[in-house]
Homo-oligomer: A and B are copies of this chain.
């Protein structure tokens, strides 16, 4: 188990991360962590490793792209002084190219995505104990689908930067693909993006597996 006693674990991202978390502070009582994978990770940590006292913080904001993360990186990441930082961004960067194709300034193309994500992670790397980078995903099993292909390309950027930065890398698309072999995408997400609780469990498991969580621990 890589998480240690008393560490602070901060998640940042878009609506998948946000999931109705409390604003402005995404931590504390009464569902402040939202209803998604962040809350599931926290619940698992408390249920299985209660003695570690891991502090989980959710800084996701619905609709965000990497461009939005840049605008709030100082306030919502650096100033929070997390020990662990997990970033999952890029879905909206791609989605806007497909659902509002005519509004070009809402699109974040590959170049901007890559250099911004590199800039942000480079800046924060020396300040955290561990950086975790999670790919964006698209709940479509057809690999020829144009948006799925584009999302894969953004995921490769995440992988490349994770390697550069020595970050933990989590391939969320791969985690979903296993399930998509059995379940049609509409079972996991109404719009192929916002998962049901089963989909969030896939994300939580992918994260916990990556940090050495021991499920059988009694």
Instruction: State the CA gap A98–B202 with chains docked (Å).
Output: 19
A187: interface (CB < 8 Å):
yes
Q: Which residues of chain A in 19-74 are interfacial with respect to chain B, using CB atoms and an 8 Å cutoff?
A: 27-29, 31, 33, 35, 39-40, 42-44, 46-48, 50-51, 53-55
A159: interface (CB < 8 Å):
no
Contact A47 B179 (CB under 8 A): yes
Q: Which residues of chain A in 77-133 are interfacial with respect to chain B, using CB atoms and an 8 Å cutoff?
A: 95, 98-103, 106
Q: Which residues of chain A in 132-146 are interfacial with respect to chain B, using CB atoms and an 8 Å cutoff?
A: 142, 144-146
Instruction: State the CA gap A192–B184 with chains docked (Å).
Output: 13
Instruction: State the CA gap A216–B217 with chains docked (Å).
Output: 11
Contact A201 B102 (CB under 8 A): no
> Which of these, B27, B184, B188, B196, contacts A103 with CB under 8 Å?
B27
> Which of these, B40, B53, B178, B199, contacts A102 with CB under 8 Å?
B53
> Known interface pairs A100-B29, A103-B27. Does A184 touch B46 (Cβ–Cβ under 8 Å)?
no
Contact A55 B179 (CB under 8 A): no
Contact B200 A29 (CB under 8 A): no
A163: interface (CB < 8 Å):
no
Q: Which chain B residue shows the least CB distance to A183?
A: B50
| A184-206 Cβ-contact flags toward B at 8 Å (1 or 0) | 10111011100011111110010
Binding site for B on A (CB under 8 A): 6, 27-29, 31, 33, 35, 39-40, 42-44, 46-48, 50-51, 53-55, 95, 98-103, 106, 142, 144-147, 178-179, 181-184, 186-188, 190-192, 196-202, 205, 215-216
